[in-house]
Amino acid sequence: MNWVETITADSLPPGEREVVRIAGKAVLLLNVDGEILAVDNACPHLRLPLNRGKVTEDCGIVCPWHRSAFDLRTGDVKTWSPWPPGVGKVLGSVAREKILPVFKTKVEDGTIFVGID
């Protein structure tokens, strides 16, 4: 595991979120009730940004674009937004259900680190 230094823990109080760049990826850091979580900022549905998505009480995030929902701890799909009828086979194949990539985090000496394989 390669641990990458990101931002100070003080700059991410509970309820806040921040997008950081790590190895060319946009990673969304979230402080959910004191737990620092990190996920790919791109929704696997169509790779649109998640950073404005609603965080749910059960530690999920809802894509602001298509309403797909994911577990922030595991990346598992909670709900998947299906394409509307009549969209066609091409777009339907793009929208297959996929998990959200999640990253390990740790806080050392007041700094948030994200683990990259």
Full domain range(s) for residue 108: 2-116
pLDDT at 97: 80
The predicted pLDDT at position 31 comes to: 98
Which residues share a beta bridge with 105?
A: 114
Please state whether the predicted TM-score (pTM) of the whole model is above 0.75: yes
With a CB cutoff of 8 Å and minimum separation 6, the contacts of 19 are 26, 27, 28, 29, 41, 49, 51
pLDDT reading at 19 higher than 90: yes
Q: What is the CATH number of the domain that holds 38?
A: 2.102.10.10
pLDDT tens, residue by residue, 84-109:
555 545 555 556 788 999 999 999 99
- Helical ranges in the chain per DSSP H: 89-94
pLDDT tens readout for residues 33-77: 999 999 999 999 888 999 999 999 999 999 998 889 999 999 999
What pLDDT is recorded for position 111?
98
Give the number of domains in the chain. Answer: 1
